[in-house]
Amino acid sequence: MSASQIIFYLISAFILGCGILAMTTRKIFRSAIWLLFSLVGVAALYFWMQVEFIAAVQIVVYVGGIVVLIIFSIFLTQQSGKEMPKPPLGRNIAAVLAVLFGFALTFLLINKYGFTDQGKAFDWSVNKIGTQMLNTGEQGFALPFEVVSILLLAAMVGCIVIAMRSKPEEK
Amino acid sequence: MIKDFFILLKQELTVTIILFILLFIKIGVKEMPARIVLNIINALLFLNLLAGFLFIRAGSLFGDMFQTSELISFEKNLLNLGTLIISLQSYHWLKNHKHALEFYMLMLSTLLGMFFMISSNNLLMLYLGLELSTIPLAALANFDLEKRRSSEAAFKMIISSAFSSGLLLFGISLVYGIHGSLNFAILAQGYSASPLGLFSFILLLAGLGFKISAVPFHLWTADVYEGAPVPVTSYLSVISKGAIFFVLVSLLYNVFGNISDTWYHMVFVLSVLTMIVGNLFALRQQNMKRFLAYSSIAQVGFILIGISGQSSAGSSSVIFFILIYLFSNLGAFGIVSLVSSVTGKEDIDDFRGFYQTNPLLSWVLAISLFSLAGIPPTAGFFGKFFLLLAGAGKGNYIWITIAALNMVLSLYYYLRVIRALFMEKQEQPIPKINAGWSPKIAMIICVGGIIVTGLFSGGYTYIHSFFIK
Amino acid sequence: MSEIPVTHILFVSTALFFIGMYGLFTRRNMITMLMAIELILNSVNINFVVFNKYLYPEKLDGLFFTIFIITIAAAEAAVAIAIIINLYRSHHSIDVEDATEMKY
């Protein structure tokens, strides 16, 4: 086994372990931290695949943005240290069985289809991503870019309306 | 090239321009009285609807990511019309709402998302349009800011939509893995019928099934419909559902055409379950919005029959039914919205004796419900007739029989509401409501639409002509 | 990196997807449900990058899809958290079961 293979299996175990812990611990703040580790692990996987740009975006947006947002909202809405109640046993068993069955089915299908490495060089560069992002022609992604910007605008407007405190005189 | 750009994208551009006008009004201008603002917006939406009928052309842009045709323009015009009706109807609710402008900004951005979704020629654009049309809608569902139910509805909606787009995305990623492309034209050349290909198709169908609330995936619907403000509920049940049906029709026929034998059976199961469960639950509802929610679930089952037709008859019957469904459901929701915003009452029992105080409004509601039930002189009958006709082309008579039984079942609960309106009495019926001119226009459009499309069969022939060319 | 079969990487992403599903089914706290959604979206991102890198390296469709999913995940999380905060303010609990005032 080469070093790269060992690193891959370590990263995978790290991602899945942290993911499982994030979904099963009963302290919500710990759950957020495990999620953070799991997302860092995914970024590491991107680094391992030598897609550094996505890895950087992953760290900046997910780890730096979303998880921080989640942690803030935990501080705003939860009493720290309180344990969440255990899920009822029946639901837990049903969920485990459903998930295991779904996973087995999906992975068997994927395995049977047999995706194989084409062995071609993957040529991406930040330069290429940038030119394609704002290109309106063939292989251009200008339209999705604009659609996403409208979505961000709308999400911003929606968040402001919902989360803004009503003015004091109206209380 | 530049001219193409403006003509092909005109419907999206007009909506975007209105969106930005509203943004600038919100930020820049001093507080304007709500009435004036609402009237300006209604005028703008009317212009937007008119502009949709000009310069219709077919073509594609952005390296085949965006496509449009006469049919697609027509579908967008339908959505524009529905949005205008809802905007007129929600006048009373918005008059006293602090965030009326934001309501329109979010609504128009979701409309824009639906336009891009209908015009998409690429799975990426399909996904982005779908998200643009649901995330702001979840924020809209929370617009009764003080009410707890409204927030709960919003949360349920965003989680279930995120879950469904998770399924959809996993499906899309597998499709990408199998075919190496996201373009519809390339996928359509030979969609893989391998087990994994079918599995990813099921994931896609499940993701879209959530959004149209077909039965195994309907659990969020009733709660969201009940908790959200009525205009948002009617928007959800008519406009966003209609848009997804337009997409579903073109996806199933054009992209997944060569596995149609497989999806026929899936649509069959979905449709039967949806009709039966929707109708059985609608029987026992007391709240008007929940009742309409389950009745709209049952209608989805009927639309799925038309989809199975797999021919030009199938698609045109679905689009024709959505046109009628738009008028009928918005007619019903318009009255519920009016009553709820003036008196705050939403239960079926509250509507007892409604005829004595508000005869005209009762007739509008009754005609809409008759049309939803599919009783002959109204348009709803022809809508369902064409759906069943398209479905019968496949010769699956079990399905048609189940559908006919369900129509009888649905008559019972629609008539229950009508009996409450006209024949039952109570001590203190809802007082006389002064609708004001803009909800009245909306009612006239709805009733007019129901009667005109019912009496003249030109509508179906017109829609059918798009497919024959 | 040809020593690792593509299916092993897909194993990781599929497992992550179903871990997220498990969380979504069992958790009843709104914020943890949101975390489950993030895991699901991440697993899809891995899928897209893997397919793009190993199977179809000529075009960058998968990379772009990943970038757009990340953006949308951020928008979705922001709206969801705004809703959660509004709900907490009116209601002081963000458990889904406490929140079900409505019956089926």
- Residue C3 φ then ψ, to 5°: -70, -25
Reported confidence tier of residue C2, pLDDT bands at 50, 70, 90: low
Mind spelling out the 3-state secondary structure of C19-60? HHHHHHHHCCEHHHHHHHHHHHHHHHHHHHHHHHHHHCCCCC
Q: Is the pLDDT of residue A169 over 60?
A: no
The residue ranges of chain B whose pLDDT is under 70 are 1, 469
Instruction: Provide the number of structural domains found in chain C.
Output: 1
Domain membership of residue C29 (yes or no) is yes
Instruction: Determine if residue A79 is left, alpha or beta; phi over 0 gives left, psi from -120 to 50 gives alpha, anything else beta.
Output: beta
- The top-level CATH class assigned to A1-83 is mainly alpha
Q: Which residue in A has a C-alpha nearest to residue C80's C-alpha?
A: A159
Q: Which residue in C has a C-alpha nearest to residue B144's C-alpha?
A: C86
Domain membership of residue C51 (yes or no) is yes
C7: distance to nearest CA of chain A, Å? 6
Q: What is the pLDDT of residues A24-80, one digit of tens each?
A: 888 888 899 999 999 999 999 999 998 999 999 999 998 888 999 999 888 888 766
> Residue B63 is nearest to which of A115, A139, A148, comparing CB atoms?
A139
Residue A163 · residue B141 · CB < 8 Å? no
Report the pLDDT value the prediction gives residue B146, as an integer from 0 to 100.
78
Instruction: Name every chain A residue with its beta carbon within 8 A of the beta carbon of C37.
Output: none
Report the pLDDT value the prediction gives residue C1, as an integer from 0 to 100.
47
A5: distance to nearest CA of chain C, Å? 7
Report the pLDDT value the prediction gives residue B57, as an integer from 0 to 100.
82
For B5, the token pair is 């750009």
Domain membership of residue C91 (yes or no) is yes
Domain membership of residue C89 (yes or no) is yes
Are residues A110 and B16, on separate chains, in Cβ contact within 8 Å?
no
Residues B181, B160: Cα–Cα separation, whole Å: 28
B99: distance to nearest CA of chain A, Å? 7
> Residue B136 is nearest to which of A115, A140, A154, comparing CB atoms?
A154
Residues B444, B456: Cα–Cα separation, whole Å: 17
ipTM > 0.85 (yes/no): yes
> What's at B238, amino acid-wise?
V
Domain membership of residue C1 (yes or no) is no
> Residue B176 is nearest to which of C17, C51, C90, comparing CB atoms?
C51
Report the pLDDT value the prediction gives residue C57, as an integer from 0 to 100.
87
Q: Which residue in A has a C-alpha nearest to residue B23's C-alpha?
A: A157
Query: What stretch(es) of chain A map to CATH 1.20.120.1200?
Result: 1-83
Reported confidence tier of residue A166, pLDDT bands at 50, 70, 90: low
Residue B129 · residue B116 · CB < 8 Å? yes
> Residue B65 is nearest to which of A106, A143, A155, comparing CB atoms?
A143
CA B460 to chain centre: 19
For C87, the token pair is 């709900």
Report the pLDDT value the prediction gives residue B433, as an integer from 0 to 100.
77
- Residue B183 φ then ψ, to 5°: -75, 135
Report the pLDDT value the prediction gives residue A171, as an integer from 0 to 100.
38
User: Given the structure tokens 């039914």, which residue do they identify?
Assistant: B321
Are residues C83 and B227, on separate chains, in Cβ contact within 8 Å?
no
Q: What is the pLDDT of residues A74-130, one digit of tens each?
A: 888 876 667 777 778 888 899 999 999 999 999 999 888 888 887 788 888 888 888
Are residues C42 and A129, on separate chains, in Cβ contact within 8 Å?
no
Report the pLDDT value the prediction gives residue B2, as an integer from 0 to 100.
76
Reported confidence tier of residue C98, pLDDT bands at 50, 70, 90: low
B150: distance to nearest CA of chain C, Å? 9
A109: distance to nearest CA of chain B, Å? 6
Report the pLDDT value the prediction gives residue C93, as an integer from 0 to 100.
66
Domain containing C56: what range? 6-99
Residues B279, B203: Cα–Cα separation, whole Å: 26
Report the pLDDT value the prediction gives residue B165, as an integer from 0 to 100.
92
Residues A73, B15: Cα–Cα separation, whole Å: 34
> Residue C79 is nearest to which of B149, B158, B174, comparing CB atoms?
B158
Are residues A161 and B143, on separate chains, in Cβ contact within 8 Å?
yes
pTM as predicted? 0.92
At B68, which helix (H) or strand (E)?
strand B66-68
Q: Which residue in B has a C-alpha nearest to residue C71's C-alpha?
A: B128
Are residues C61 and B173, on separate chains, in Cβ contact within 8 Å?
no
Are residues A151 and B143, on separate chains, in Cβ contact within 8 Å?
no
Task: Among A112, A113, A122, A147, pick the best mutation site for testing chain B contact (most B Cβ within 10 A).
Answer: A147
Mean pLDDT value across residues C85-98? 73
We report the CATH number of the domain holding residue C42 as: 1.10.287.3510
In B366-459 the beta strands, taken as DSSP E runs, fall at none
Q: Is the pLDDT of residue C102 over 80?
A: no
Better pLDDT: A156 or B454: A156
